[in-house]
Amino acid sequence: TETKVAKCYSEQPFPNILQRSSDPDVALQTIATWFRSNLSCLGVDLSTYAPKSMLIAGCGTGEEAICLSRVFPNAAILAVDITDASLAIAGRNLAMMGVRNVTLRRMSIIEDLPKEREQFDLVFCSGVVHHLSSPEQGFSNLVDRVSPGGRLIISLYNSYGLFIYRVQLSVLDAIAGDDFERRKQWALRLRFVGRDNPVILYDGYVHPKVGTFSISTVNDWGRRNG
């Protein structure tokens, strides 16, 4: 599964917002504002919370890492991803925006993260766990990297909020299986997504592994992982 996921994002690195934006600073400010709002909703007091170390698990093309480096400028950030193509773009994005507190590394949450011995004050993982071969194992691997007293912030697809999307995926699974080309063709033919946004086409519909989860399921993972 991880090999197929890497292939998907090698063909269309995600989200690659800066490469498609006419004004990178405005795009980043929008994302950073979204981050601050979400962190506040989670009860994180940004006026006092200052993690010294952070892991971004599944950094993609680096926009999250850049924004979180602005939210937490004094944190040493390790940003990892499974796809070399995404990391290459992330490296260029970090250099373009002058980010100095982020280190990039190729790493699989399932296969490589358990070998990492370092722990982090904040482990951040958004939009990744639902693409893993074993989502609960991925969650457990992330928990192991949280230092005592640290935080894990995780975002993943919700079963109830994405009901229609799940129906669309079921249709594609039935008629195209995990054939990338057929999934692209049928997603476009059925107008699940437009031709003008290949990033969303790949991330949303070509992707070989997509799961959705209820809050109670994730809470159960948490209890089982202490």
Q: The pTM is what?
A: 0.92
Q: Would you state the pLDDT for residue 24?
A: 85
For residue 191, the 8-state DSSP code is T
| Phi–psi pair at 95, nearest 5 degrees | -65, -45
Whether the upstream peptide bond of residue 148 has omega within 30° of 0, thus cis, is no
- The partner residues of 146 in beta bridges, in order of sequence, read 120
* pLDDT tens digits for range 84-99: 999 999 999 999 999 9
Between CA 174 and CA 177 the distance in angstroms is: 6
The model's pLDDT over 21-75, given as tens digits with 9 standing for 90+, comes to: 888 888 888 888 888 898 898 888 988 999 999 999 999 999 999 999 999 999 9
Question: What DSSP character marks residue 90?
Answer: H
